[in-house]
Structure 1
């Protein structure tokens, strides 16, 4: 696949150029949020790919999303990615509401972690709406990203629950945070990653609350990235 072209809008500029590392951490956190929904965790765990090759699976997911953001949903490359996403999500047990939630996570979390401007948030909401339409999903709550984020929290309050599949997925993916940490801290990546999770997500993944100094250090370590 060819590299993404220069940014077409404020969301693409944020993710690809202004704060790419923060956006990547946000995308990883969005991916992790899906583990707290037992139905999604079962599907991801059932494929076997994520648990056996978590780095490859996470990189592939990130590459697809970043290329889609860079090229645009309506571009030739974007249409190819949309077709791949549609095929991946025709798995048994994945309904339209779960797909909408995954899309919301992959849009809201990078924007929130990168501390996006109002223009960037508006462009992200437009991207999510275009992708939902391309995937033939019901529209996400909107038109603002704040309304999408509020719907996400309501969905999570109703659907987050502990599951063995979700906990296994977290154990497989937590080491990926090492790439965003200075070398000496890399071996502590799971603990630093857990410190970035909010209480409902930690509860669903059966993770203890990290000590306050670790939470502060994790926020500082990841927010110092561009």
Structure 2
């Protein structure tokens, strides 16, 4: 079998502050593609659930009326940056488009930091729990530096100075401000269908319970989602740990990264897209 840990050994020879893009690309495109996508979904779901952020989204109506498009647009902008880096013309255009969209709304500085913290912390914690291996210190640091660079390009000030400092800030802000709101509950109902779509077809009848299981207790409380039965929680945890073990012992390293042809495909844009047209019309 090909060496399962070759990418990890190479990552450990790199400098996460200088080589953050290469390391983060390797994590998302080679080592943990499915988990990274799910982790980013969970990160955005959590950011949508902070009451002030939820109120902004409900006010625009985009997430409720055009849920699939809104999520696809966000994903495309994020993956354009990841594929090309912030200094590539397409990466720069994706950052410009992101900034242009956000400047239409009155968003507090702490809320911007919280969203950035979700992107840094939530996917890493998913990998720590359910990845086929633990993300190493270089990978945690690279994820932090990647999103710190994005934050700087979005004008987000006072970003904590390391992964651990950001995780500590995120936990405190989450503890103090993530509370139930009707807006967050409405957004969760609209976006849950997209997470249900990631559930294997034989388990589709249990989709709502499975999605609730991958939310933690605080997120369920903030969005009004009932805790699933203990047996479902235990079963999902066991299945995800079994998957991790099988990938670790039996799977070969991914030879072809996701988006290898440079094309990101989504249901909203089967025939392609222009970065400048992503996001709400008129922004």
* TM-score normalised by structure 2 residue count: 0.72
- Summarize the alignment of residues 186-197 of structure 1 with structure 2, pairs less than 5 Å apart: 186-197=204-215
Tell me if structure 1 keeps the 8 A contact 2:21–2:146.
no
User: Alpha carbons of 1:170 and 1:221: their partners in 2 closer, same or farther (altered >3 Å)?
Assistant: farther
Q: Residue by residue, what CA displacement relative to the aligned partner does 1:17-47 show, whole Å, maximum 9, x if unpaired?
A: 2111101111111111123211100111122
Gaps of 5+ in 1: 1-6
Matching residue within 127, 136, 150 for 1:114: 127
Measure, in 2, the Cα distance between the counterparts of 1:216 and 1:53: 34
Instruction: Show the counterpart of 1:53.
Output: 66
Q: 1:161 aligns with which of 153, 174, 179?
A: 179
1:97 maps to 110
Which ranges in structure 2 are unaligned for 5 or more consecutive residues?
1-19, 129-134, 248-283
Alignment of 1:147 onto 2:160: no
Q: Runs ≥4 in structure 1, deviation > 4 angstroms? A: 220-223
Distance, in Å, in 2 between the alignment partners of 1:8 and 1:103 is 16
Which residue of 133, 143, 148 maps to 1:129? 148
1:124–1:50 distance in 2 versus 1, CA, 3 Å? same
Instruction: Give the structure-1-normalised TM-score.
Output: 0.88
Distance change >3 Å, CA 45–CA 23, structure 1 → 2: same
Specify which of 213, 226, 230 is matched with residue 212 of structure 1: 230
Displacement, 1:71?
A: 1.5
1:41, 1:166 within 8 Å by CA — same for their partners in 2? yes
Q: 1:8: Cα distance to partner?
A: 4.4
Match for residue 180 of structure 1?
198
Q: CA separation of 1:25/1:8 partners in 2, compared to 1, >3 Å: closer, same or farther?
A: same
Kept in 2: contact 1:181–1:222 (CA 8 A)? no
Aligned to 1:3: none
Deviation at 1:84, TM superposition (A): 1.4
Q: Which has the higher contact order (CA 8 A, sep 6+)?
A: 2
Deviating more after overlay: 32-41 vs 162-171: 32-41
Q: Report if aligned partners of 1:178, 1:188 keep a CA contact under 8 Å in 2.
A: no
Q: Which residue of 2 aligns with 1:15?
A: 28
**Which SS does the other structure have where 2:227 is aligned?**
coil
Structure 1 residue 83: Cα displacement: 1.0
The CA RMSD over aligned residues, in Å, is 2.0
Cα distance in 1 between the residues matched to 2:217 and 2:191: 19
Q: Distance in 1 between matches of 2:97 and 2:148?
A: 18
User: Hey, what's the Cα distance between the residues in 2 that align with 1:217 and 1:76?
Assistant: 46
Equivalenced residue count is: 219
